[in-house]
Structure 1
């Protein structure tokens, strides 16, 4: 079964509607709708738009996310109903900072909206990072200067593209993996970014390819040092977390 067909079955069951009732609302026959639920046919674009509006769930979510893993009322409250961001909390209710492992870019791209995948990531807690959602991503390759391999980029989740600001640095999750870039401008259906490495030309990322954006906050080295801090009290606080980081090191550096 495709994700779409499973989602249609799930949404109809949650709303306690008959196939005939949904088909009538979509201006199609019950037989045509039944084929969408049984995965024997794919709805044309105009019908897919009506399905999205009828269930109040975006086409993006209908086609890419297993909605059975989320309460229906939570979907309805999503801003623009477009992006799902599973998070986990510790026993005090504080958001955990998940650390994405090395050599796991495509695993994250495929699982970023799956609460089971996110819940399975190793995590740390940094007391000076609060009142937002943070995640750690590995710096790899020549496209992430000034960070060398072995550095983790800690980013704050940016919910809306309109919240991005030109001149700021972001860890950007695309359908092809991770990039660390400086935003230059926001277009109608894309953003323009550039690298701190002048060897790379500025380029455009389309809204279709853009999955998540994390505004750069801090950098962690795998030897437990911290960058961009002159305040010794913050460094001392970080060093007190060394045991937590040691505990997960074998999982995140592979």
Structure 2
């Protein structure tokens, strides 16, 4: 068995997934994927890159390191193993804030590190969000009041799990989709999250299920009627501007 084939078998076992499930996610046949695990053939470079992104393990590690000999969670934290985050900039060179379409979690999971997919997204720029990389995700459900369906959570990209802080809220991208939760704790192999709605019980997310973490910065209602910013000064500025616009509209009507 080659290192690649052994690693594929090992990573699939960690996900407790079937060959059919992974083949479906990679958009290939189960028989083709099985040949890679049995070392009967090798995937072409384009598919190998796709497999690397799927398991969130660099190609170098996939083909040269026996992953069974090392704690997988530690390997995922190595700088050389980091999957580069595609960054979109506007015409002035400022980082743009990509807006993930509502109910598009599966599309994002397949394209979150694909520059072409990221480039295809609508985007906005907010002048007070400059230091860091930001992205806007749709909120769903009622587990994190006051945010409801139609609200967009703007988050700042978190480079490492160790940089996350207990008590803060995060938009978490997992292999199953998006969740917006408050961080309750960090363990060796998982993180514990909880909802602000006490009806929902806290639960653990294994680190190997984590793809991205975005720390909450602000929220935007879908109709842009109100922005809820962490910075109260900025929030007050927008509310004052809105009041001035309303007064101006009344004056023009008269």
Band the TM-score falls in, shorter-chain normalisation: 0.5 to 0.7
Q: Match for 2:60 among 52, 65, 78?
A: 52
Question: Would the aligned equivalents of 1:155 and 1:170 in 2 still touch at CA under 8 Å?
Answer: yes
* Distance verdict in 2 for CA 1:217–1:238, change over 3 Å: farther
* Distance verdict in 2 for CA 1:175–1:204, change over 3 Å: same
Give the Å deviation of 1:38. 6.0
Q: For 1:224-243, list aligned pairs within 5 A.
A: 224=224, 225-228=226-229, 230-231=232-233, 234-235=237-238
Q: Distance in 2 between matches of 1:116 and 1:57?
A: 30
**Residue in 2 aligned with 1:175?**
175
**Residue in 2 aligned with 1:75?**
none
Give the Å deviation of 1:58. 11
**Residue in 1 aligned with 2:41?**
35
TM-score, length of structure 2 as denominator length: 0.63
State how many pairs are aligned. Answer: 183
Give the Å deviation of 1:105. 1.0
Q: Distance in 1 between matches of 2:130 and 2:240?
A: 14
Structure 1 residue ranges (4+ consecutive) displaced by more than 4 angstroms after TM superposition: 53-59, 236-239
Question: Would the aligned equivalents of 1:58 and 1:81 in 2 still touch at CA under 8 Å?
Answer: no
**Runs of 5+ in structure 1 lacking a partner?**
6-31, 43-48, 60-77, 240-254
TM-score, length of structure 1 as denominator length: 0.63
Q: Distance in 1 between matches of 2:92 and 2:125?
A: 11
Q: Distance in 1 between matches of 2:114 and 2:241?
A: 30
Question: Would the aligned equivalents of 2:144 and 2:180 in 1 still touch at CA under 8 Å?
Answer: yes
1:196 aligns with 2:193: no
Q: Distance in 2 between matches of 1:88 and 1:207?
A: 27
Say which SS state the counterpart of residue 228 (structure 2) adopts.
coil
* Distance verdict in 2 for CA 1:219–1:54, change over 3 Å: closer
**Runs of 5+ in structure 2 lacking a partner?**
6-37, 49-56, 68-77, 243-254
